[in-house]
Amino acid sequence: MRDHSKKILKIILAAAVAAGVILLCIFLIPYILRLRDEAFREAFSEKIRSLGILGWGLMLLLQILQTVVAIIPGEPVEIVMGVMYGSLGGLLICLAGIALGTVLVFCCVNRFGMRFVNRFINSESFDKLKFLHDPARRDALMFILFFIPGTPKDILTYFAPFTKIPLLRFLVISLIARIPSVISSTYAGDAILEGNFAGSIIIFAVMGAIGIAGIFIYDRIIKAHNKK
């Protein structure tokens, strides 16, 4: 009965987060459209610069939160980073936040085990990842899974401590593998800031197509290795 209640609570929480993201997008649309005006873009950039270290800190905390709370989608956060701090600046903040969030998850999973995991994700998905316990192929496969767009990277982060992979090694593998995906999102955000809406739409379309393909590739990899 308790497990059933937890599942219902997680569904409600996921729906609330999804609704929040949708409402936030609706709220931001008028401001995004105004970025076509050069004067507004300059004023927006000046406002961001005036935030200084506070702006960087708030966005860093947002990225850490997104890494820990797996149901929060990562792409919108990365796009916002690109809008606010450009493709390179956004990339650096994203990677720093992902690194700190990953360390937090890793330490909490090692300390509290499945009690911590079950508060944030559905641990039943771990059954499909048991092949990653093999040290001989673990590192290479983790790199591939983090590199492929559309894969559940947050679930992989929660699962990694159970494979006995050292934290530093996992950080290096996952962060390097994430760079192409993250920078494509921050670049799209930067394109919006520059008023290049056509370019950002093309990037979104390509990212979406690659993401869909990535989901199928991920599923094929999981099935192939679980058969072995």
Give per-residue pLDDT as tens, 123-150. 777 878 888 877 878 888 899 889 988 7
Give alpha helix (H) positions in the chain.
2-34, 38-51, 53-68, 74-112, 114-117, 135-147, 153-159, 167-193, 197-227
CA 86/CA 90 separation, integer angstroms: 6
For the chain, give the percent of residues with pLDDT over 90.
Answer: 20
- Categorize the per-residue pLDDT at 96 as very low, low, confident or very high, splitting at 50, 70 and 90: very high
Q: Which long-range contacts (CB under 8 A, 24 or more apart) does 71-75 make?
A: 71/10, 71/13, 71/14, 71/17, 71/120, 72/17, 72/21, 73/21, 74/153, 74/154, 74/185, 75/185, 75/207
Residue 111 has pLDDT above 80, yes or no: yes
Q: What is the mean pLDDT of the chain?
A: 79
Residue 72 has pLDDT above 70, yes or no: yes
pLDDT (tens digit, 9 = 90+) per residue, 10-51? 566 666 666 665 666 666 666 666 666 667 666 766 777 777
Q: Half-sphere exposure of residue 170, counting CA atoms within 13 Å on the CB side?
A: 25
Backbone angles phi, psi at 118, to 5 degrees: -70, -10
Q: Across 1-5, 85-89, 132-136, 196-200, which has the greatest mean pLDDT?
A: 85-89
**What's the average model confidence in pLDDT over 166-191?**
90
CA 188/CA 123 separation, integer angstroms: 33
Residue 169 has pLDDT above 60, yes or no: yes
Quote the pLDDT of residue 8: 65
